[in-house]
Amino acid sequence: MAGGKSGDPEPKGVKRKLEEPSITQEGNNFSSDNDENETDIPITNTKVRCKFCNKTKTEKVYIPSDAEPECIVLTNEILANIYTDNDDIVQHNLTNYSIYDENGHMCSIDSGVMERNVMIYMTGYVKPIYDNNPGVEDGIPAMALGPILEWWLSSYDGGTQALIGINTEYADYLLIEPHPKYKKYMTSVTEKIHLSREVIKNILSSEDDDPTYEDILNCVINSINPATGNKFTEEDLISHAQFVLNQVLEYDLNDTYHLPLAETQCIETLTQLSGAAKPVKGLSRRTGQRSQYVKADINKREFSKATTTELVKDVFENMFAAQLDIDDKENEGNVNKLVKNVFDDVCNTKIKKDITDVHVNVNQVLWRDQVLSEKMFIVVKNNVSTIPLIGRIEYFFKTKFKNKAHIQLFMHSYETVLGETADPQEIFALKNCTNIDIKNVVKIIDVVQKIPSKNWFKLGNSKLQDLLEPVNRQNKNSFFYQLQYDDEFGRFEYPKFLEPNTVIREGHCSNCEDFALEQKSKEPELHEFIEEEKNISYFYKFKLFDEEYKVGSFVYLQPEIFKTASRSNMIGEEPFEHIETNKNVSNQEQKVIDETKYPEYYRKSLENTMRGSNETTPDPFEIAEILAIYFVNWDRKNIKLIVRRMYRAEQIPLKDYAKNSDMNMLFWSEEEFRVTYQNIRGKCYVSFISNIQDPLLWSSSGPDRFYFTKKYDFMFGSIISEYELPSEAKLTGKEVYVNYKYQYVDEDKLQYIPSYKKIKPLRGLDIFAGCGGLSRGLEDSGLVISNWAIECDDLAAGAFKLNNPESTVFVEDCNHLLKLAMSGEKTNSKNQNIPQKGEVDFICGGPPCQGFSGMNRFNSGQYSLFKNSLIVSFLSYIDFYRPKYFVMENVRNFASFKRSMVLKLTLRCITRMGYQCTFGILQAGNFGVPQTRRRLIIMAAAPGEILPLYPEPIHVFNRRSSSLTIQVGDKKFKTNCKYEESAPMRTVTVYDAWSDLPEIPNGANEEDIIYKSKPITHLQKLFRYPDNRYAESILSDHICKDMSPLVQARMELIPVGEGSDWRDLPNTKVKLPDGSYTNKLLYTHHDIKNGYGPNGELRGVCQCASGEKCDPQDRQIDTIIPWCLPHTGNRHNNWAGLYGRLAWSGFCSTTITNPEPMGKQGRVLHPEQHRVVSVRECARSQGFKDSFIFHGPIINKHRQIGNAVPPPMGTAIGHEIIKAIDKKPRYICSPFL
């Protein structure tokens, strides 16, 4: 039947009963669509649910009076003449449409009816595919189009409108415009489509290849919901998560750019929060054309190719050619097989020899008709392993008529941390040596020592053919070595070079000498005998681990030693009670609460310890002054000490006394204890307050510095003022020599309090600089001046420039800049001077790590490969400039990514350049920030320099966050740090960092305000020193995100107290600022895991709690207790910490780039105020001083902080590198040729 012509009025409809689909319930009739006499939609409200639409409140569908069934409509000549090929898909447009069930009740296509196999149909006006006019003119009235088989999102039209396609048995229909009365049924669909569009678009356009949930949420809540005209909320995103997830999976299946969006952490987190089921990847019937709007953006993006030197390219070529696709099924035994194959080849190599011409001289031994000489390399049978030993003969000797040799051991490169990435013809010297029987020698091998060239610093970017090969690659019996390897710490260093013409005595072994010196340093060595009294011999000093301890020296002792040590000067001993005011003692004991009002509180009983708590944080070292050094009955090895106990502020049993005291402030006492030298953990330096001018400046000018002002009287539990201190106490820190009787002696024996070493700062280049956290810390140590920085994010680069106005900041792709430098260009397009070879002494940087991060699991796709390849770019900068030192930082999981292959290749590349290097994990919390943040740090030193050690922890930190070992294969590596169980100072808390900041409301946006108070704590003095010490000083960036009214209502209902989170929320209705009310959460199902409440209350909010499949109709919105959290809490640790308050006495989780109450970071609410943490609070949790400036909108400032390395960690690293520079002898025997 032909449709109406253009300009004709719409045909009037009359009510009629249709034959198809049939009416089956209560005789409900379909209603006609009459524009002239249209009245309100008839609504039937019964207690009986319709068995089709599953509703008790139903609305009848309106159908055009002259509508025809689908089979007739499709034969209309307007539609039938479009298709000439039987294989063409029949596709039309449908406008003024409605969708209904077999009872004639209007229903939504996303209401779950199709999932229940309910047949639903369409009515409306069918138009040819080329007619996109939403009006009914020229449309063919249709009814009973269907039943609908499926519906899909066809494409985006380049704007905000998404096209929905529906498939029936006979045709496909693109929905144009709903019937006015049906529009409300499309509200949810419209929201879902636009949310999906926003999520996909923002993932693809994100600066990070793996955006966080918080990043995407920030974009979503700032976009407009077209169905309501209001901004989207987090509730919208979570309630429609299943649909969004389905669209993301569909996008992945049809995207040619190979970006698996479903594997990004934002989608992973959304899946966990919402409880949505991840569909199994498989092609749907309709692939459809994907979003032209999004794809247009993708096509504009150009992926940078890594600029590499030939040496770096040669190392990484195979790795990145395969897109990091290392076979994870390969077992670790392959390395042993590789080593075995090498030695099988060696042993099978035949060497020509002339046995008639053999002469054995002094210091030689005959073996199998061959002569073994000193300094010759051999392969020896290994009695404890199938892998033979490699050794260099140091000397020969005989025992019981057997010829033996003492050899220095070497290790094949495959056996080191380099593993399968190593050079098969490289070996490494070890610090170990052993004796062997000559008969166990298996083979003589040719080994040469590779010594760096004199022009090593100029060899960057050399052609491979210009780099001298150390061995003949065709000779499998030929090896080389250049570095010494420490298998415990994973350190590669140059072995000691002997001075020319050095006379080596017979039977000499440098390894044996070093080992003997090391063992000797472990035994105390007494010096300067004073007197003997009653079989007790007193001495003035002793030496232990190369450190000298004297009478009057202050020492670190093992924690809590005074609980067990015997007193020396008190007869009536009182039991000592250790006060632990720095501990966050849990106050989460189950209280008697009304579970009707607080239905989720019971989940707290399922949690042992609050994250961010200091309950398991160890105590710092005890501090004491040595009063006497002695041994009894001539037992010189059992050295004992009499020490004076010094109290820390946190050990004074006065409530909150330590909170506002300096962390390095002590209290003098008259308590004396007897301890042994084994209790000593290190040396420290203490001064009386009057002997120093500025305690803060003095304390920060050198390591391990403490001061005291008063005395603590243990017997009376009182603090005594400095005026009552004895004169001997006031001498402390005057640098005078005193014996155990406090008698003055010669001035030439002053006690020395060391300061941090100072050097001429190195010229530094910071790559991937961000806002400059790492380089700022290194500058604070005095190691470098950041002359240059490279950062492609213009806002982060702006922050770097604001804080380093003298630096040249390149806001461009690092690969492009390196290409210019390698081609000899002096300036870039902005006329900025490019650093030249020989100008850069130091390089630091952290190649973007989203592909490796524990929080960021995305590791594939073209853009991710580009990011990963920035490791190659960074190492190419190193090879080109050849700095004296460099530091590379990355996330902890860098060490384990791709079965540690990236770490191995990085170290392989560094050692091939000729650098000494080491790797390890540091915890930022150990260096004075109230945050757990573990980072992998790779340090390297050029030939001729000394490889630095890792800094010792300064502050104790939570044990659960202090696992700093690195597992590579079956081997665990650790750093050189000896402070493993404790540290010199107590942990830093949130109170230490934030308690002086003024109160601000949710959404505070005033960038400059006044402090309103002086600094309260030691840390705050450091943050505000020297310019912001006053209450009237200006505080910048104390601003916070503006949360939605519903989120704000929840935050206000979270109790103020440690451990509070969403489980403390009441189940109640609340009036929001816009006048609307929240809903009360309904518990509708039995929770088979958690049972019933104390009064038989249900605890499930979805039928999945009873073990069934999730029902979308169980979802609830706008509730104070977010429906999604109890819905999925059973399988996600009860979502502990979401909407959680930080504890004043605790610490922050790893600062991420966007604080959200339901984000993965968890606790982001202020301890007392009803808001999320501010920019300045996040900056302080990272250790940034208040004078540090951030740049851009608030979200960018959070990102700059979250991506930064805590400056205090950089400072500690800088001090260690300075120590290494200072240790370098002025006239060192050069390792160069």
Q: What confidence score (pLDDT) does residue 58 get? A: 77
Residue 23 makes CB contacts below 8 A (sequence gap 6+) with 17, 29, 103, 104
Query: Which run of H or of E encompasses 510?
Result: helix 510-522
Phi and psi, residue 729, nearest 5°: -70, -40
Phi and psi, residue 933, nearest 5°: -155, 105
| Domain 762-989+1211-1223 of CATH type 3.40.718.10 | no
Comparing CA positions, the residue from 411, 375, 416, 413 lying closest to residue 393 is 375
Three-state SS for 1053-1066 is HCCCCCCCCHHHCC
Of the CATH numbers 3.60.15.10, 2.160.20.10, 2.40.50.140, 1.10.10.2230, which one belongs to the domain with range 186-269+279-297?
Answer: 1.10.10.2230
Comparing CA positions, the residue from 700, 702, 675, 722 lying closest to residue 555 is 675
Comparing CA positions, the residue from 77, 193, 204 lying closest to residue 140 is 77
199-219 residue pLDDT tens: 988 888 777 767 888 888 888
C-beta separation of 163 from 91 below 8 A? no
- What is the rounded distance in angstroms from the CA atom of residue 274 to the CA atom of residue 1122? 10
C-beta separation of 294 from 162 below 8 A? no
CATH of segment(s) 336-350+360-470+477-487: 2.30.30.490
- What is the rounded distance in angstroms from the CA atom of residue 931 to the CA atom of residue 612? 8
Catalytic site residues?
849
C-beta separation of 910 from 938 below 8 A? yes
Averages of pLDDT over runs of 10 residues in the chain (1233 residues) are: 34 34 37 40 57 76 92 87 64 94 88 81 94 92 92 58 83 92 88 87 78 84 81 86 85 66 85 77 39 36 72 74 42 60 64 50 81 92 88 90 91 93 93 93 93 91 79 88 96 80 71 90 92 91 93 95 87 46 49 87 77 86 96 88 96 88 95 96 95 92 96 90 89 66 49 90 97 98 98 96 97 95 96 96 86 41 50 94 97 83 92 96 96 96 97 94 88 94 96 97 96 95 87 94 94 94 96 92 95 93 92 88 92 90 92 82 91 97 97 94 96 98 71 60
- What is the rounded distance in angstroms from the CA atom of residue 84 to the CA atom of residue 985? 84
What is the value of pTM for the model shown? 0.84
C-beta separation of 57 from 45 below 8 A? yes
Query: Strands, DSSP E only, in 942-1089?
Result: 966-968, 971-973, 1008-1010, 1034-1036
* Other Cβ atoms within 10 Å of 444 Cβ, number: 21
Residue 911 burial by Cβ neighbours in a 10 Å radius (0-12, 13-18, 19+): buried
Q: CATH topology for 531-553+625-739? A: SH3 type barrels. (2.30.30)
- What is the rounded distance in angstroms from the CA atom of residue 1162 to the CA atom of residue 213? 12
Q: Which residues of 107-137 are buried (b: 16+ CB within 10 A; e: fewer)?
A: bbbbbebbeeebebbbbbbbbbeebeeeebb
- What is the rounded distance in angstroms from the CA atom of residue 492 to the CA atom of residue 411? 12
Domains 336-350+360-470+477-487 and 531-553+625-739 share a fold: yes
- In the three-class reduction of DSSP (H, G, I as helix; E, B as strand; rest coil), residue 766 is classed as strand
For residue 651, give both structure tokens.
């050990």
Q: What confidence score (pLDDT) does residue 1090 get? A: 93
Comparing CA positions, the residue from 778, 800, 780, 799 lying closest to residue 789 is 800
Domain map of the chain by residue range?
1-181, 186-269+279-297, 336-350+360-470+477-487, 531-553+625-739, 762-989+1211-1223
